[in-house]
Copies of this chain bind each other. A is one copy, B any other.
Amino acid sequence: MTRPTFRAESLGYRVNDLARLLAHALRDRIAPFGVVPGQFPQLLALYEEDGLTQAELCRRVRVEQPTMANTLSRMERDGLVTRAPDPADGRRSLVHLTVRARMIEDDLVSAASSVNVDATRGVEQERLSTFMAVLAELVDNLEGRPAASPSVADGGSTP
């Protein structure tokens, strides 16, 4: 046998699977509101604070700038946001939610919550807490440093 279960056991493989399933479930539930999953992080960030610049949105939702530019264009097309030039800086434009986007906030958050609830149905609370904590650790490992040699002690590094 080669590695008959590597695929099934690989972290990356399974996480990718789960991400697609979650996105699919979310898509189904927010379609009635004329929103697609890729617009969700931007909307949530703007619900938290409106009138951000594109660059600031990139930092908060952690996607690359061209991705954000394209997504915002679609959101503008779909009547979710408007882009107005920043009077204080000719390079920037400020992204604002439309009235429509604000009106569907509760619906969207409910839809997303229901996906999370469905996905975690039957999972013990403590195990779920561990899951979320480990998830955060994995993200930290991957986005923090590219990881060097951690085998020994970890003190004294980056002097």
Contact = CB atoms under 8 A, between A and B. Distances in A.
Contacts of A133: 127
A1 B113 CA distance: 18
A103 interface: no
Q: Quick one: copies of this chain in the complex?
A: 2
Given A16-B19, A116-B10, A116-B11, A135 B131 contact: yes
A128 interface: yes
Nearest to A135: B14
Contact of A128 (B19, B134, B142): B134
A16 B21 contact: no
A81 interface: no
Interface string A85-122: 00000000000000000000100010011011011111
A138 interface: yes
A116 B7 CA distance: 12
A44 interface: yes
A158 interface: no
Interface string A118-147: 111111000110111111111101110001
B6 A109 contact: yes
A159 interface: no
Given A16-B23, A19-B16, A131-B134, A48 B4 contact: yes
